[in-house]
Amino acid sequence: MSLRISTNSIYESGTSQLNTLQGQMAKTQNQLSTNKRMLTAADDPIASARALELTQSQSMNTQFGTNRSNANASLSLVDKSLSDVSGQITDIQSLIVTAGNGGYSQSDREALATELEGRLSDLIGLANTSNGVGGYLFSGYASTTQPYSQTPTGAAYQGDQGQRMLQVGSTRKMAISESGSAIFDAIGTGNGTFQTQAAATNTGAGIVSPGAVTDRSKLTGHDYAVNFAVSGTPAVTTYSVVDNSVSPAANVLQDQPYTAGASINFDGISFDVKGAPANGDSFTVKPSQKQSVFTTVTDLIKTLRTPDTGSAGKAALANGLATAGSNMQNALDNVLTVQASVGARMKELDSLDSTGSDLDTQYQATLSGLQDLDMVKAISLYSQQQTTLQAAQLSFKTMSSLSLFNYIS
């Protein structure tokens, strides 16, 4: 039994096969032109979904890199400002040492006070440093509020305690600013644990040292008064230590012989008094408080402008300079601590940048494996498809020309 194939069937079948071959060849051509194995998600649904996930992760990694760049710029500005602040504090410390020169007259100290007024203005200006985008570095979350305004006692803080944060990694948020109060206001007085001061009513020449902690386990955090008494002939100076934090006040030490420069020890603390305290003179020992560096400089200016009349005046000047020196050292230590924290964060950003760069390379390599075309294999396939299409076209031409009419003369 013979199978008859109609002319219409020959044409339909041939056209369909040619269209299929041309479509396959066009797809290979598009893959070659784009160097992509997957032109649509239908080409490889699993690889396409994975590539989309990787692309999103890569975009997030790129954004984290941008955030790190912004964070580094902000922290660099903070670091530069803190370096300038530490320079100003160091200069003020030098002026304190200079002011203690026994040969200086009152007019000399007045000149130093005038210079300190300029230093105070410079410090407040640094505390009000702009972040370059219309805000302030040290105002916390209230970035558009000027942090400090000068007052008769120093400067008043108008910002808040916040630190602006920025996402610099998938699991890392980093502070890119510092609160002004933490830098300029949170300065411990005295030696950081307790503060010694001479009473304003003292008439003698006693000068008290900042002191030090000898046994932290014995610290009470109480307020003490060291009272001096001078009596007898020849005059004998003694002192008593009174704890004013209990009621009634309790004697800690009583009628102890005084030797200039000898240590006074009680309740885990130690300090000394030099010079000659007068009868009724008193020195206080209190827990350290938080004080603004601007208040310290303002008090120092007042100290320099107070005449050092007589031995009592000279002692008051020496005590005032010693207090200012301790407080400014604490201020410098605090600024350096904050600056070290900023530097640690900048170093961490460098490490995160290196990790981010490695991660981006990994993402790119994985995406390349999923999406990129094997050029050698694709070119070979394209040549094969081209040969197949040409053969199909030739065979279709030959078949379509078969007709009995070609043999009828």
What does the pLDDT read at residue 272?
A: 96
What does the pLDDT read at residue 2?
A: 58
Q: How far apart are CA 366 and CA 370, in angstroms?
A: 6
pTM: 0.79
Mean pLDDT by 10 residues, the chain (409 residues): 61 70 69 66 68 80 90 93 96 95 91 95 94 86 92 93 89 90 92 94 94 95 96 92 94 95 95 95 96 96 91 93 95 95 94 88 73 66 72 68 59
Is the CATH code 1.20.1330.10 the one for domain 55-189+328-359? Answer: yes
Q: How many residues does the chain have?
A: 409
Q: How far apart are CA 66 and CA 146, in angstroms?
A: 28
Q: CATH 1.20.1330.10 residue ranges in the chain?
A: 55-189+328-359
Only one residue has tokens 């940048």, namely: 353
Q: Which of 84, 112, 108 is nearest to 324 (CA)?
A: 112
Q: Is 351 exposed, middle or buried (0-12, 13-18, 19+ CB in 10 A)?
A: exposed
Angle formed at CA 210 by CA 220 and CA 284, multiple of 5 degrees: 55
Residue 319, CA distances (Å) to 219, 264, 286, 307 in order: 24, 17, 15, 14
